[in-house]
Amino acid sequence: MDLVVENSKKWPKNSLIFLILGIFSIVGGAICVLIGILTPKPGQPELNFPEVGATKTDDKIYSNLTGLELADANLVTAPTYCIQTPNGTDGARPQAGLDQAGVIFEAIAEAGITRFAAIYQNPTAAVIGPIRSLRLYYLQWDTPFDCTIVHAGGADDALAAVRNGGYKDLTENYTYMYRSKTGNRLWNNLFTNATKLAEFTTDKGYTTSNVKGFARFTPENAEKNRIDNTAAEKLVITEPAKGDTSALAPITTEISFRFGNVPTYNVKYSYDVATNSYRRSYGNGNPHNIYSCPSEALGNASPENSCTLTQMSPKVVIAMIVNERKASDNYHEDITTLGTGTAYVFQNGIAIKGTWTKNTVADQIIFKDESGNEISLVPGQTFISAIPTYGSVDY
Protein backbone atom coordinates (compact mmCIF):
# COMPACT_ATOMS: atom_id res chain seq x y z
CA MET A 1 0.00 0.00 0.00
CA ASP A 2 1.36 3.36 -1.00
CA LEU A 3 1.70 6.19 1.58
CA VAL A 4 -0.13 9.24 0.29
CA VAL A 5 0.66 12.74 1.58
CA GLU A 6 -2.05 15.18 0.66
CA ASN A 7 -1.18 18.60 -0.82
CA SER A 8 2.44 17.55 -1.33
CA LYS A 9 4.28 18.76 -4.41
CA LYS A 10 7.45 17.64 -6.04
CA TRP A 11 10.22 20.24 -6.23
CA PRO A 12 11.79 20.64 -9.63
CA LYS A 13 15.41 19.46 -9.59
CA ASN A 14 16.79 22.88 -10.60
CA SER A 15 14.81 24.68 -7.90
CA LEU A 16 16.31 22.45 -5.18
CA ILE A 17 19.85 23.23 -6.35
CA PHE A 18 19.12 26.98 -6.31
CA LEU A 19 17.71 26.72 -2.79
CA ILE A 20 20.83 24.99 -1.47
CA LEU A 21 23.11 27.57 -3.12
CA GLY A 22 21.04 30.37 -1.61
CA ILE A 23 21.39 28.95 1.91
CA PHE A 24 25.16 28.69 1.48
CA SER A 25 25.30 32.28 0.26
CA ILE A 26 23.40 33.59 3.28
CA VAL A 27 25.56 31.63 5.76
CA GLY A 28 28.77 32.66 4.03
CA GLY A 29 27.74 36.31 4.07
CA ALA A 30 26.96 36.16 7.77
CA ILE A 31 30.37 34.65 8.49
CA CYS A 32 32.11 37.42 6.53
CA VAL A 33 30.19 40.09 8.42
CA LEU A 34 31.09 38.47 11.76
CA ILE A 35 34.76 38.27 10.82
CA GLY A 36 34.66 41.92 9.87
CA ILE A 37 33.19 42.84 13.23
CA LEU A 38 35.66 40.76 15.29
CA THR A 39 38.78 41.75 13.34
CA PRO A 40 40.36 44.75 15.10
CA LYS A 41 40.93 47.84 13.00
CA PRO A 42 44.36 49.46 13.05
CA GLY A 43 44.90 51.07 16.44
CA GLN A 44 42.09 49.13 18.11
CA PRO A 45 42.73 46.57 20.89
CA GLU A 46 42.42 42.91 20.03
CA LEU A 47 39.22 41.31 21.29
CA ASN A 48 39.62 38.16 23.39
CA PHE A 49 36.72 35.99 24.42
CA PRO A 50 37.22 33.30 27.08
CA GLU A 51 36.33 29.73 26.34
CA VAL A 52 32.98 28.61 27.62
CA GLY A 53 33.47 27.19 31.09
CA ALA A 54 37.06 28.47 31.38
CA THR A 55 38.14 29.84 34.78
CA LYS A 56 39.25 33.46 34.74
CA THR A 57 42.77 33.83 36.12
CA ASP A 58 43.04 35.97 39.26
CA ASP A 59 46.06 38.13 38.55
CA LYS A 60 45.85 40.13 41.77
CA ILE A 61 48.92 40.33 44.00
CA TYR A 62 48.64 40.04 47.76
CA SER A 63 51.05 40.86 50.59
CA ASN A 64 52.46 37.88 52.47
CA LEU A 65 52.55 40.09 55.56
CA THR A 66 49.05 41.58 55.61
CA GLY A 67 47.09 39.74 52.92
CA LEU A 68 46.15 43.09 51.38
CA GLU A 69 46.30 43.65 47.63
CA LEU A 70 49.51 45.19 46.29
CA ALA A 71 49.91 47.38 43.23
CA ASP A 72 53.32 46.00 42.27
CA ALA A 73 54.63 42.42 42.40
CA ASN A 74 58.04 43.72 43.52
CA LEU A 75 56.49 44.88 46.79
CA VAL A 76 55.92 41.26 47.85
CA THR A 77 59.64 40.80 48.50
CA ALA A 78 60.42 44.34 49.71
CA PRO A 79 62.58 44.53 52.87
CA THR A 80 60.82 44.02 56.19
CA TYR A 81 61.70 45.60 59.54
CA CYS A 82 60.95 44.22 63.00
CA ILE A 83 61.09 47.18 65.37
CA GLN A 84 61.20 46.90 69.17
CA THR A 85 58.71 49.48 70.42
CA PRO A 86 58.10 50.27 74.12
CA ASN A 87 54.71 50.69 75.77
CA GLY A 88 55.62 52.03 79.19
CA THR A 89 54.20 55.08 80.90
CA ASP A 90 57.72 56.56 81.10
CA GLY A 91 57.49 58.54 77.86
CA ALA A 92 56.90 55.70 75.39
CA ARG A 93 53.26 56.62 74.75
CA PRO A 94 51.94 57.64 72.28
CA GLN A 95 54.06 55.60 69.86
CA ALA A 96 54.61 56.86 66.31
CA GLY A 97 53.99 55.08 63.01
CA LEU A 98 52.59 51.96 64.67
CA ASP A 99 49.50 52.17 62.47
CA GLN A 100 51.65 51.12 59.47
CA ALA A 101 52.89 47.88 61.04
CA GLY A 102 51.35 44.84 59.36
CA VAL A 103 51.78 42.51 62.34
CA ILE A 104 52.41 43.47 65.97
CA PHE A 105 53.44 41.09 68.75
CA GLU A 106 52.77 42.20 72.32
CA ALA A 107 54.30 40.66 75.43
CA ILE A 108 55.67 41.58 78.85
CA ALA A 109 59.26 42.83 78.68
CA GLU A 110 59.88 43.25 82.41
CA ALA A 111 58.09 44.18 85.64
CA GLY A 112 54.70 43.65 84.03
CA ILE A 113 55.42 46.31 81.35
CA THR A 114 54.49 45.26 77.81
CA ARG A 115 56.51 45.91 74.67
CA PHE A 116 55.84 45.45 70.97
CA ALA A 117 57.68 43.76 68.13
CA ALA A 118 56.16 45.63 65.18
CA ILE A 119 56.73 44.25 61.67
CA TYR A 120 56.72 46.71 58.76
CA GLN A 121 57.00 46.26 55.01
CA ASN A 122 56.86 49.13 52.51
CA PRO A 123 56.43 51.77 55.26
CA THR A 124 56.09 55.44 54.36
CA ALA A 125 55.85 56.88 57.87
CA ALA A 126 57.90 59.98 58.64
CA VAL A 127 58.38 58.92 62.27
CA ILE A 128 58.58 55.35 63.64
CA GLY A 129 59.27 54.48 67.25
CA PRO A 130 60.35 54.88 69.94
CA ILE A 131 62.94 52.09 69.70
CA ARG A 132 63.97 50.06 72.73
CA SER A 133 65.85 46.89 73.63
CA LEU A 134 65.38 43.35 72.33
CA ARG A 135 64.28 40.16 74.08
CA LEU A 136 64.90 36.61 72.85
CA TYR A 137 61.21 35.71 72.49
CA TYR A 138 60.52 38.76 70.32
CA LEU A 139 63.43 37.71 68.11
CA GLN A 140 61.99 34.20 67.78
CA TRP A 141 58.62 35.62 66.72
CA ASP A 142 60.40 37.98 64.29
CA THR A 143 62.48 35.32 62.54
CA PRO A 144 59.93 33.97 59.98
CA PHE A 145 59.43 37.49 58.59
CA ASP A 146 63.07 37.61 57.37
CA CYS A 147 63.33 41.15 58.69
CA THR A 148 66.00 43.58 59.80
CA ILE A 149 65.92 43.51 63.62
CA VAL A 150 65.68 47.16 64.70
CA HIS A 151 66.46 47.73 68.39
CA ALA A 152 68.58 49.60 70.93
CA GLY A 153 70.63 46.92 72.66
CA GLY A 154 68.89 44.11 74.47
CA ALA A 155 69.10 41.22 76.89
CA ASP A 156 72.34 39.22 76.68
CA ASP A 157 70.76 36.06 75.27
CA ALA A 158 68.92 38.04 72.59
CA LEU A 159 72.04 39.91 71.49
CA ALA A 160 74.05 36.67 71.36
CA ALA A 161 71.33 35.08 69.20
CA VAL A 162 71.40 38.05 66.79
CA ARG A 163 75.21 37.94 66.52
CA ASN A 164 75.40 34.18 66.01
CA GLY A 165 72.23 33.65 63.98
CA GLY A 166 73.07 35.59 60.83
CA TYR A 167 70.29 38.14 61.36
CA LYS A 168 70.04 41.46 59.58
CA ASP A 169 70.76 43.74 62.51
CA LEU A 170 70.27 47.45 63.11
CA THR A 171 70.94 48.44 66.69
CA GLU A 172 71.19 52.00 68.04
CA ASN A 173 72.84 54.00 65.25
CA TYR A 174 72.64 57.74 64.58
CA THR A 175 73.02 57.40 60.83
CA TYR A 176 69.76 55.52 60.61
CA MET A 177 68.12 56.71 63.84
CA TYR A 178 67.86 59.97 65.74
CA ARG A 179 66.89 61.37 69.12
CA SER A 180 63.81 63.56 69.35
CA LYS A 181 64.34 66.61 71.53
CA THR A 182 60.70 67.48 72.13
CA GLY A 183 58.04 66.04 74.39
CA ASN A 184 58.46 64.38 77.77
CA ARG A 185 60.01 61.22 76.32
CA LEU A 186 62.88 60.72 78.79
CA TRP A 187 64.91 57.76 77.45
CA ASN A 188 62.12 56.76 75.05
CA ASN A 189 63.16 59.29 72.41
CA LEU A 190 65.00 57.17 69.82
CA PHE A 191 63.21 57.19 66.45
CA THR A 192 63.70 56.30 62.79
CA ASN A 193 61.65 56.76 59.62
CA ALA A 194 60.89 55.02 56.34
CA THR A 195 63.67 56.79 54.45
CA LYS A 196 66.37 55.93 56.98
CA LEU A 197 65.29 52.29 57.08
CA ALA A 198 65.42 52.09 53.28
CA GLU A 199 68.89 53.67 53.31
CA PHE A 200 70.10 51.03 55.76
CA THR A 201 68.86 48.08 53.71
CA THR A 202 70.30 49.60 50.53
CA ASP A 203 73.66 50.30 52.17
CA LYS A 204 73.86 46.76 53.56
CA GLY A 205 72.45 45.01 50.49
CA TYR A 206 69.41 43.72 52.39
CA THR A 207 67.15 44.55 49.47
CA THR A 208 64.65 41.70 49.73
CA SER A 209 62.77 39.70 52.37
CA ASN A 210 61.16 36.28 52.09
CA VAL A 211 58.18 36.69 54.39
CA LYS A 212 56.52 33.60 55.84
CA GLY A 213 53.08 34.97 56.58
CA PHE A 214 49.93 33.60 58.13
CA ALA A 215 47.14 31.88 56.21
CA ARG A 216 44.92 34.70 54.90
CA PHE A 217 41.58 35.18 53.21
CA THR A 218 41.61 37.23 50.05
CA PRO A 219 39.81 40.55 50.70
CA GLU A 220 36.78 39.29 48.74
CA ASN A 221 36.55 36.01 50.65
CA ALA A 222 37.07 37.80 53.95
CA GLU A 223 34.04 39.97 53.23
CA LYS A 224 32.02 36.92 52.20
CA ASN A 225 33.02 35.24 55.46
CA ARG A 226 31.91 38.29 57.43
CA ILE A 227 28.54 38.43 55.67
CA ASP A 228 28.00 34.69 56.05
CA ASN A 229 28.76 34.83 59.75
CA THR A 230 26.45 37.78 60.26
CA ALA A 231 23.63 36.06 58.37
CA ALA A 232 24.12 32.85 60.33
CA GLU A 233 23.93 34.79 63.59
CA LYS A 234 20.68 36.50 62.56
CA LEU A 235 18.91 33.61 60.86
CA VAL A 236 20.37 30.38 62.29
CA ILE A 237 18.59 28.36 59.61
CA THR A 238 21.41 26.13 58.39
CA GLU A 239 24.12 24.08 60.04
CA PRO A 240 27.73 25.15 59.46
CA ALA A 241 29.90 23.16 57.11
CA LYS A 242 31.84 20.34 58.71
CA GLY A 243 34.89 21.74 60.46
CA ASP A 244 33.64 25.34 60.30
CA THR A 245 33.50 26.43 63.93
CA SER A 246 32.75 30.05 63.22
CA ALA A 247 29.68 30.04 60.97
CA LEU A 248 27.19 30.16 63.84
CA ALA A 249 29.42 32.03 66.30
CA PRO A 250 27.78 34.96 68.09
CA ILE A 251 28.97 38.47 67.38
CA THR A 252 31.61 39.46 69.96
CA THR A 253 31.78 43.19 70.59
CA GLU A 254 33.90 43.55 73.75
CA ILE A 255 37.22 41.81 74.48
CA SER A 256 39.58 42.14 77.47
CA PHE A 257 43.15 40.84 77.89
CA ARG A 258 44.80 40.73 81.30
CA PHE A 259 48.57 40.25 81.22
CA GLY A 260 48.95 40.16 84.97
CA ASN A 261 48.60 42.26 88.06
CA VAL A 262 49.65 45.62 86.55
CA PRO A 263 46.35 47.09 85.27
CA THR A 264 48.13 49.82 83.28
CA TYR A 265 49.14 47.28 80.63
CA ASN A 266 45.93 45.32 80.29
CA VAL A 267 43.98 46.05 77.10
CA LYS A 268 40.43 46.18 75.79
CA TYR A 269 39.03 45.96 72.28
CA SER A 270 35.65 47.14 71.00
CA TYR A 271 34.42 45.79 67.69
CA ASP A 272 33.42 48.52 65.22
CA VAL A 273 30.93 47.07 62.72
CA ALA A 274 31.22 50.04 60.35
CA THR A 275 34.98 49.56 59.82
CA ASN A 276 35.13 45.85 60.65
CA SER A 277 38.01 46.57 63.01
CA TYR A 278 38.75 46.53 66.75
CA ARG A 279 39.26 49.82 68.57
CA ARG A 280 42.08 49.23 71.04
CA SER A 281 42.12 50.81 74.51
CA TYR A 282 44.16 50.44 77.67
CA GLY A 283 42.73 48.68 80.70
CA ASN A 284 41.59 51.98 82.21
CA GLY A 285 39.43 52.66 79.15
CA ASN A 286 41.67 55.32 77.59
CA PRO A 287 42.08 54.77 73.84
CA HIS A 288 45.45 53.49 72.66
CA ASN A 289 46.29 56.51 70.55
CA ILE A 290 49.41 56.68 68.42
CA TYR A 291 50.91 59.29 66.14
CA SER A 292 50.18 58.71 62.46
CA CYS A 293 53.00 60.39 60.58
CA PRO A 294 52.58 61.13 56.86
CA SER A 295 55.59 61.01 54.55
CA GLU A 296 55.38 64.79 54.04
CA ALA A 297 56.89 65.21 57.52
CA LEU A 298 60.10 63.35 56.67
CA GLY A 299 63.25 64.53 58.37
CA ASN A 300 64.43 64.23 61.96
CA ALA A 301 60.87 64.98 63.01
CA SER A 302 59.35 64.76 66.45
CA PRO A 303 55.96 63.02 66.52
CA GLU A 304 54.47 65.73 68.71
CA ASN A 305 55.07 68.39 66.05
CA SER A 306 54.60 66.48 62.80
CA CYS A 307 51.92 63.83 63.26
CA THR A 308 48.24 63.29 64.03
CA LEU A 309 46.83 61.24 66.90
CA THR A 310 44.70 58.26 65.89
CA GLN A 311 43.38 55.21 67.75
CA MET A 312 44.88 51.81 67.03
CA SER A 313 42.23 49.68 65.29
CA PRO A 314 43.57 46.37 63.96
CA LYS A 315 41.52 44.09 61.73
CA VAL A 316 42.52 40.91 63.57
CA VAL A 317 43.15 40.46 67.29
CA ILE A 318 44.75 37.28 68.63
CA ALA A 319 45.58 36.08 72.13
CA MET A 320 48.16 33.32 72.52
CA ILE A 321 48.32 31.70 75.95
CA VAL A 322 52.01 31.14 76.76
CA ASN A 323 54.15 29.68 79.51
CA GLU A 324 55.99 32.58 81.13
CA ARG A 325 58.30 33.00 84.10
CA LYS A 326 61.08 35.21 85.38
CA ALA A 327 64.41 34.87 83.61
CA SER A 328 67.56 33.91 85.49
CA ASP A 329 68.27 37.57 86.32
CA ASN A 330 64.90 37.64 88.16
CA TYR A 331 63.93 40.78 86.24
CA HIS A 332 63.44 40.06 82.54
CA GLU A 333 60.85 37.56 81.28
CA ASP A 334 61.35 34.09 79.83
CA ILE A 335 58.52 33.14 77.45
CA THR A 336 58.17 29.79 75.70
CA THR A 337 57.67 30.44 71.98
CA LEU A 338 57.92 26.88 70.61
CA GLY A 339 55.34 24.15 71.00
CA THR A 340 51.60 24.65 71.19
CA GLY A 341 49.00 26.33 73.35
CA THR A 342 45.51 27.78 73.45
CA ALA A 343 44.69 30.65 71.11
CA TYR A 344 41.76 33.00 70.60
CA VAL A 345 41.27 34.65 67.20
CA PHE A 346 38.93 37.62 66.91
CA GLN A 347 37.97 38.81 63.44
CA ASN A 348 34.86 39.77 61.47
CA GLY A 349 33.12 40.31 64.80
CA ILE A 350 33.40 36.69 65.92
CA ALA A 351 35.56 34.74 68.38
CA ILE A 352 37.28 31.51 67.37
CA LYS A 353 38.90 29.42 70.10
CA GLY A 354 41.66 27.09 69.00
CA THR A 355 45.39 26.52 69.24
CA TRP A 356 48.69 28.06 68.20
CA THR A 357 51.68 25.96 67.08
CA LYS A 358 55.26 26.94 66.32
CA ASN A 359 57.63 24.03 65.71
CA THR A 360 60.99 25.79 65.15
CA VAL A 361 62.31 29.32 65.40
CA ALA A 362 62.26 29.60 61.58
CA ASP A 363 58.64 28.37 61.35
CA GLN A 364 55.68 30.72 61.32
CA ILE A 365 52.96 30.30 63.94
CA ILE A 366 49.96 28.28 62.74
CA PHE A 367 46.53 29.00 64.21
CA LYS A 368 43.90 26.25 64.10
CA ASP A 369 40.31 26.02 65.29
CA GLU A 370 39.06 23.38 67.70
CA SER A 371 38.37 21.02 64.79
CA GLY A 372 42.01 21.20 63.73
CA ASN A 373 41.46 23.37 60.64
CA GLU A 374 43.94 26.16 59.96
CA ILE A 375 42.31 29.55 60.46
CA SER A 376 42.55 32.00 57.56
CA LEU A 377 42.99 35.52 58.89
CA VAL A 378 41.25 38.61 57.54
CA PRO A 379 43.60 40.89 55.56
CA GLY A 380 44.93 43.92 57.42
CA GLN A 381 46.81 44.73 60.59
CA THR A 382 47.05 41.81 63.01
CA PHE A 383 47.71 42.37 66.73
CA ILE A 384 48.97 39.28 68.61
CA SER A 385 49.19 39.36 72.41
CA ALA A 386 51.14 36.73 74.36
CA ILE A 387 49.05 36.26 77.50
CA PRO A 388 50.70 34.36 80.40
CA THR A 389 48.89 31.35 81.80
CA TYR A 390 48.25 33.44 84.91
CA GLY A 391 46.54 36.14 82.80
CA SER A 392 43.10 35.97 81.24
CA VAL A 393 41.06 36.47 78.06
CA ASP A 394 37.46 37.59 78.48
CA TYR A 395 34.81 38.24 75.81
How much is the mean pLDDT over the chain?
Answer: 85
pLDDT digits (tens, 9 = 90+) for 231-249: 755 544 444 444 444 444 5
Mapped onto helix, strand or coil, the DSSP state of residue 50 is coil
Mapped onto helix, strand or coil, the DSSP state of residue 199 is helix
More confident: 237 or 276: 276
pTM assigned to the model: 0.81
Q: What is residue 107's DSSP assignment?
A: E
98 φ, ψ to 5°?
A: -65, -20
> What is the rounded distance in angstroms from the CA atom of residue 379 to the CA atom of residue 341?
24
Cβ count within 10 A of residue 44: 8
pLDDT band at 79 (very low <50, low <70, confident <90, very high): very high
pLDDT band at 228 (very low <50, low <70, confident <90, very high): confident
The rounded Cα 210 to chain-centroid distance in angstroms is: 15
pLDDT digits (tens, 9 = 90+) for 148-178: 999 999 999 999 999 999 999 999 999 999 9
pLDDT digits (tens, 9 = 90+) for 342-390: 999 999 999 999 999 999 999 999 999 999 999 999 999 999 999 999 9
Answer whether 245's CB lies under 8 Å from 364's CB. no
DSSP 352-371: EEEEEEE-STTSPPEEEETT
Question: Dihedral of CA 70/71/75/81: which sign?
Answer: negative
Q: What is the pLDDT of residue 59?
A: 85
Q: What is the pLDDT of residue 37?
A: 39
- Rounded average pLDDT over 87-110: 96
The continuous run of DSSP H or E covering 29 comes out as helix 13-38
Q: What is residue 243's DSSP assignment?
A: T
- Rounded average pLDDT over 272-291: 96
> What is the rounded distance in angstroms from the CA atom of residue 264 to the CA atom of residue 282?
7
Cβ count within 10 A of residue 137: 26
Answer whether 364's CB lies under 8 Å from 212's CB. yes
Burial 307-333 (b: 16+ CB within 10 A, else e): beeeebbbbbbbbbbbebeebeeeebb
More confident: 208 or 38: 208
Answer whether 348's CB lies under 8 Å from 277's CB. no
pLDDT band at 305 (very low <50, low <70, confident <90, very high): confident
> What is the rounded distance in angstroms from the CA atom of residue 130 to the CA atom of residue 233?
42
Type of residue at 288? H
Q: What is residue 128's DSSP assignment?
A: B
The continuous run of DSSP H or E covering 38 comes out as helix 13-38
Task: Give the highest mean pLDDT range of 38-42, 50-54, 82-86, 242-246.
Answer: 82-86
